[in-house]
Structure 1
């Protein structure tokens, strides 16, 4: 059945009416973040509108954070903006999700102990060859792949971490439980494009934008204890901060 926007009964322009119908369809059909919308051709036929009008409607929903697009793959229900905006604090992914009433989980891709490379040893101020725990995870909110998280830390810092099930456990919480104080983080943030390997892990298309957070985390004695690289899908992360004049 075609749900056609009507100028006769409503004062809004056709694109605004179409945007409202699409939003209502997302709610009515119970579409979750990451769900694919019907093709543009199907939406045009369903609502009886032109592709130009449809794209203006979808652009409006994109600006509102309700949908997102992926080149060559179509339109998807977006992760809510309350999920995408993270605090300007040193807080774990799991803790932030829990505080927002969401469920975080991980797919563990790598969890092993190996010798530190020269660069890692220099960054962590430990001798080359020091045993390091390497933990790489795809981080999820519900069924949505949010980020690829790669962490490296001295294995002796918190014995037993190599045996923890990190599909649900939080690295920060496990460290804190073992008496490790996470005091501050030095973080560099930059935009990049997803290569084929990262795109496959996050279910993106190669060339899509990502946001990379490169962190060195220090303890209360100002010692570097954790190296973390987190690569977020560009439409699933937003960091808000405050700048003040000196």
Structure 2
């Protein structure tokens, strides 16, 4: 249950309880009504609504007008595009366990296009299969200068978060990213890794990250299973 002496706000405690109940199968299709949740946790309607709103924003729940709040049947991993996050952070935020498997790393022999984007002569790549609760969700390809790539290669790339290494161990500042999302046909080899039929269309993300001076740090290409991943953004109309 919830603890009123816990410094974590009550609505976040309730959110975690409901999320865990969903994972355990306590709720199959929909969650209890606001009144039932208020009675269960002995809190106000406002607190319950805050907890539920967080789960809706995370993609765990969805509200259907006049019917109630249901467990979402959309892809389990939702990434909001209003900030720069690693895939590890995104998967953890969904209450799932992130995983990685190193597929390849080393210097690229022919990389004119990418070397121009990074303003370097030699490009180092790190390719990984990413999972959520052991299910393949994406293939990520990170591209760096040779200097940065060789430093990253000294760490266990199956278990570490690359952006944590860049910021906390290499002292690099990831400030801004320009990102492109499209739909592409996946290669036969990548299809095998992701567990999808050959020739499948997947979500393709290309991103370049720069530091405070505008110097590029990373170029990134990834392919996401559309049945496992969705990108979300909230906007307001300008007047």
The aligned counterpart of 2:14 is none
From 117, 128, 141, the equivalent of 1:123 is: 117
Q: Per-residue deviation at 1:138?
A: 0.5
What's the C-alpha RMSD, in Å, of the aligned pairs? 2.4
Distance (Å, rounded) in 2 between the aligned partners of 1:64 and 1:193: 30
Any residues of structure 2 matched to 1:88-107 within 5 Å, and which? 88=81, 89-107=83-101
Q: Which residue of 1 aligns with 2:77?
A: 84
**Pairing partner for 1:192 from 184, 194, 210:** 184
**How far has the Cα of 1:87 moved from its partner?**
2.1
Larger Rg: 1
> How many pairs does the alignment contain?
170
Residues 65 and 208 from structure 1, CA distance in 2 versus in 1: closer, same or farther, beyond 3 angstroms?
A: farther
TM-score normalised per structure 2: 0.64
Aligned mate of 1:204, from 165, 184, 196: 196
Closer/same/farther in 2, CA of residues 197 and 158 from structure 1, 3 Å limit: closer
The offset of 1:211, in angstroms, is 0.4
The answer on whether the counterparts of 1:106 and 1:138 sit within 8 Å (CA) in structure 2 is: yes
Normalising by the residue count of structure 1, what TM-score does the alignment of the two structures yield?
A: 0.62
Residues 71-112 of structure 1, C-alpha deviation per residue, up to 9 Å, x if partnerless?
xxxxxxxxx74x321122210111222333322111100022
Separation in 2, partners of 1:114, 1:232 = 23
Q: Deviations over 1:152-192 (max 9, x none)?
A: 01132375211211111111010011210111111110012
Which blocks of at least 5 consecutive residues in structure 2 are unaligned? 1-23, 27-69
Q: 1:158 to 1:233 in 2, by over 3 A?
A: closer
